[in-house]
Structure formats: C-alpha cells, structure tokens
Structure 1
Amino acid sequence: MRRIAIFTDDPGWHGKQLCRAFAERDCVAEYVSLTACRIQTAGIPLLHIPGFEQKLPDAVFVRGVPGGSLEEVVFYLDVLHALKLLGVPVYNDGHAIERSVDKAMTSFLLQNAGLPTPMTWVLRDRDEALTVAEQELAAGHYLISKPLFGSQGEGIRRIEKSTDLFWLTSSHGIYYLQRFVECDGEGYYDKRVFVINGKAVAAMRRRGISWLNNVARGATCEAIALSDEVAELAVRAVAVLKMDYAGVDIIRQRDGSLSVIEVNSVPAWKGLQSVCGVDIAACLVQDLLERHVGQSA
C-alpha cells in the first residue's frame, strides 16, 4: 500500500478530504509539517521526514507551506526540491510554489507571456513608490498595496486618495503596487477557476462584501457556467507558471475584457465544492496518482 505525505500545519477540512480520497485509492496519507523535516548529509536517507524514516513517501501533496523568515521559507522549499531530486513526486512542486507565492514573479511571468493582468510596480525605494501612487491617483486610478508574500487578503490596502499614501505598506522594504481593477456590473466579484492538469474542472463566482473577494473575508460563493473564454485564460495562466493544479482568480473588467488577478498554487476549495458539485479532492488525488505515481484507476 502506497504511503503519501501531506505537508500541512492545519489539516482541517481539506486534509480530511484528501485522506478520504487517498484511502479510496488504496493509499495511506499522513500529515507532516515542513517545520519538522531536516536535511542530513551525514547519513541515509539524506532527508528526514517524520513518519517516513525507513522509506521516503511514495508521493507528497503540498497543502501548505509555513511562513517565516527568508531562511525558513528557503529551507522549506529546499525540502521540496530535494524530495523531487530523490525521485519523490511533489504536487505542486517547489518551483511551482516559488513562482506563485512570490506575487512579483507571478505578475512578471503572466505579463511576459502576454496574458492580461493588472498593471503592477514592484520596487525598493519608498519615494519612487509614492511617486507611482501619486501619478496613478492623479490619472484617476485606485491602487492596491499588497505584501509580496501573503494570502486570504491579509495585509492588502486600497489606496483611493492622497491621504491614503500614509498607509502605503511595504513587505520588508519591497513595495508591491497594483492598479485596482473595477469589475463589470454591480458590486464586487471575481471568478475562481480550479485547474487540474491543464483542464478547468470547476468554477464559481466570489462576491465580496467589500472590494476584497476572498472567502476568508466574508465573500459568498455562487455557482456559474464556465465559459470557454474564461476557462482558456485560466488554463493558460497555470501553464505559464508550470503548475499541476491551481486556483486562478479572474475579473471581467468594465470594458468587457478579462484580467488574471492571482494564481494560487495551494488553493482552498471548500467554498468552491459547496456550489460546483465536483469532488475536488478526488480529482486532485486521481491526477497525482495516475500521472506521477503510475497508479491507474
């Protein structure tokens, strides 16, 4: 029986869903914290994964990467990279995590590939950041200030007027500024598209109680019919970032065009599953086992 490691510090509902889906495929899944792993070049195996001392896992599902100092985050990614080098399938792998957890690189890669994404500035100098913000406000554009690393809407501010510049926040000295995108229609909403192995398998509309559309911030989930246009854009975004699976946030702007707001390599799906009727965990586990472990249905 194959043994799978699920990297997470907070298994919760998603962990239970994954364990159930793995069990249905005759696999045993165990939770492991990346904080408890270690690299050890003094012996065999070169990696110490708690619970897998005698034999490394048959595959790893990355459900969460802890925050921390730069050194800590680099170490967690080192563990993911090392596992893959040792022949253990990692889903999503370290490179995919790196490309998406860093909002600057995500914006760069999407724009470089010609995909529609909001105008963004990432810079070190505060005076230059203030100049960018003042110019955007003078041109009639709101701005979003985001931490370079973060999720679920934490640390995000909207800059609407000059006095808001006092709240211009940096992420350890780096300023990430993005032009605020007004969606078409009334209120605030975007579309979350879940992509697995190059296919859009489910989607929903997230309607926020404010300009933030995160479910963790009170947004409601609504079922939608996924258009070919939206599905194709989501799939292209995931392909650019070279991910096995991802949650892609897309907004239709007031001029009718689409824009990719974010690509999440460790997306939650509890809200999505509540309205789409798709067993997301089963789809993820099937893709991991069939493509990377060689276990067919």
Structure 2
Amino acid sequence: MRRIAIFTDDPGWHGRQLTQAFAEHGYRAEYVSLAECRLTPAPGQLPLWIPGFEHALPEAAFVRGVPGGSLEEVVLYLDVLHALKLLGIPVYNDGRAIERSVDKGMTSFLLQRAGLPTPPTWVLRDPEEARRIAENELRNGHLLISKPLFGSQGEGIRRIEKMTDLFWLTSSRGVYYLQRFVHAAGEGYHDHRVFVINGRAVAAMRRRGKSWLNNVAQGAECEWIEASAELAELAVRATLALDMDYAGVDIMLDRDGRYTVIEVNSVPAWKGLESVCDVNIAALLAEDLLGRYLGLGCVQPPAIEIR
C-alpha cells in the first residue's frame, strides 16, 4: 500500500481523521515525530532516516505538528522538511511555510508587506525601547498584546492595559513581540477563524472568548458563519502571502467595522470548526494533497477563490 507520513507528536482526533481520509484513497498514513528523524548523508543509504520509512521514503508528508525546542533542534526539524522537498517528496505545508508562520514577527512583516490590514506590531530585543513603545501606546489610549515569538493556542500571551502592567512586560528568549490590541465590534470578545485550502476559503466560524483570548483551547465557543466575500478574500490573501497549502486565518472585525488579520496558522486544528459545520476538513486536505501533488485527480470543493 502507498504510504503517507504524518508528522505529529500527538495524533489524537486530528490524526485519526487524516488517517481515515487518506485510507479512503488507498494510502496508509504513519505517524512520525520530527524529533526522531535524522539526516544521514552517506554513500549507499537514504539521505534521510525516518522511523517506519527506513527502506523507502514516503510518497508525501503531511505536517500536523512541529516540536518545540532549542534553536538547533527546531532547525533540524525544518532541515528534515526542506530535505524531503529537495528529494521530490511533497510536504504539506512545507518547511518554508512553517518557518514563515511559526515566527509571529515574520508573519506580521509579510502580512503588512502584502498590503493586508494587520495591527501595528513591534519586534525587538532592547527592553528599554520595548518599554518606551508600550508607554507611548498606553498614553495614546491603545492597549497592547505581548506574545512569545513562537507559540500557539493563546499560551504565554499577556495584555498590557495600564502602566503598572509594564512590570509584567517580559521577553521571549530575549525578543519582545508587541502588537496593538484590536477591540472587537459589538459586545463581548470574538473573532473569526477562516479555514483556507489551496487558495479557497472552505469553512468559517466565529469564536466567542470567555475573556479577550478567543482561542478554542482557552475555552472559546464556536459558532458557524457564512463567510462574506470580503472575509474570505482576506483569509485567502493572507495564506497566499505566506505561501501555504492550507491555513487557519484569524481575523477580527474592529469597532470601526474594518477587518484585521491577526494570525495565520500553518498547523491549525479544525475540531472546533467541524463541531459547527458540515464540512469534512480532513477529507478536503487529503484530496488536495493527493490531487495536486500526486496526480490523484480529486475534485476541489466549491468555494470562493482569489487569484
């Protein structure tokens, strides 16, 4: 049977969904941790050692998770993804897309460079300058969000609301990532998550947070929405700006009625999204990977497409 590698350290529900989706097309999915892979450039052997694929590399790789770690460890994980692509193995999303999105500073830079609405952001090392920026924002009536440069699911994020909060202004391994807080339109806290596959917005939901954090992992409630053309277009353009196969794009409608792109996730979860819509995300992901990269000839779902 033809085989696909799913890179993850926690297969869980998402892994099972993907395994079933690939199996329906005659592919067996194997879970692999990037932490267990290694480069083996030597004569007479495969240049990559991947558990379960010691004698033949997978036909494709699906990136469901990249472990954290030291700079050297993360570089090695990305080297494995880059090496697979150089060897002609499709990687979904590939190492370049992972690099661009896992680094929130580069994500903000690329969104702004593409002309997309995104909050004013500062990424720097100098603690005194970071404090001056925060003080200036507060004096001008703006709240700030302090985030770890690398992170997900709302972990490690603080909101700077008043001068005394500056005592809690901390760096992420020596780097400060500060972003102007965006107030949502209407009552309460909420944002939009749009799921994009191959330049198409295939599903969307509104996330209502218990606090200013709208992550499902932090307890936000999900509500299906029919994405407007403007919302879908912004999500697609954000995905194209980071050159991704698929992504979860977080967008807020602010108090002035304008959409703002907050984050672009290259390994997004979709369990919450599927709980409020009838779209089989795993099936669409598998069909896109196999159709575009392995010539399976799958039909793309009808959706808004931006070129």
Deviation of 1:276 (Å): 1.3
Residue 295, structure 1, aligned to residue 283, structure 2: no
Describe the SS at the equivalent of 1:189: strand
Matches of 1:98 and 1:257, distance apart in 2: 29
Matches of 1:5 and 1:42, distance apart in 2: 23
Does the Cα contact within 8 Å between 1:289 and 1:295 map onto a contact in 2? yes
**What is residue 157 of structure 2 aligned with on the other side?**
156
Matches of 1:225 and 1:38, distance apart in 2: 44
**What is residue 258 of structure 2 aligned with on the other side?**
257
Q: Could you tell me the TM-score, scaled by structure 2's length?
A: 0.96
Residue 66, structure 1, aligned to residue 67, structure 2: yes
Describe the SS at the equivalent of 1:105: helix
Residue 85, structure 1, aligned to residue 86, structure 2: yes
**What is residue 11 of structure 2 aligned with on the other side?**
11
1:2-49 per-residue CA deviation (whole Å, 9 max, x = no partner) reads: 200000000000000000000111100000000110101124200001
Runs of 4+ in 1 over 6 A off after TM superposition: none
**What is residue 128 of structure 1 aligned with on the other side?**
129
Give % identity.
Answer: 75
Does the Cα contact within 8 Å between 1:81 and 1:93 map onto a contact in 2? yes
Matches of 2:88 and 2:46, distance apart in 1: 12
Deviation of 1:193 (Å): 0.1
Matches of 2:247 and 2:11, distance apart in 1: 18
> How many residues end up aligned between the 2 structures?
297
Matches of 1:2 and 1:237, distance apart in 2: 33
1:135-194 per-residue CA deviation (whole Å, 9 max, x = no partner) reads: 000000000000000000010000000000010011110000000000100000000000
**What is residue 281 of structure 1 aligned with on the other side?**
282
1:271 maps to amino acid: G
Describe the SS at the equivalent of 1:276: coil
Does the Cα contact within 8 Å between 1:146 and 1:169 map onto a contact in 2? no
Q: Could you tell me the TM-score, scaled by structure 1's length?
A: 0.99
Describe the SS at the equivalent of 2:247: strand
- Where structure 1 has 5 or more consecutive residues not aligned to the other structure, the ranges are none
Describe the SS at the equivalent of 1:166: helix
Matches of 1:243 and 1:64, distance apart in 2: 15
Instruction: Write out aligned runs for 1:100-179 (5 A).
Output: 100-179=101-180
Describe the SS at the equivalent of 1:109: helix
Describe the SS at the equivalent of 1:4: strand
1:113-137 per-residue CA deviation (whole Å, 9 max, x = no partner) reads: 1100000000110000000000000
- Where structure 2 has 5 or more consecutive residues not aligned to the other structure, the ranges are 299-307
Matches of 1:169 and 1:78, distance apart in 2: 30
Residue 267, structure 1, aligned to residue 305, structure 2: no
Matches of 2:33 and 2:111, distance apart in 1: 31
Matches of 1:16 and 1:53, distance apart in 2: 23
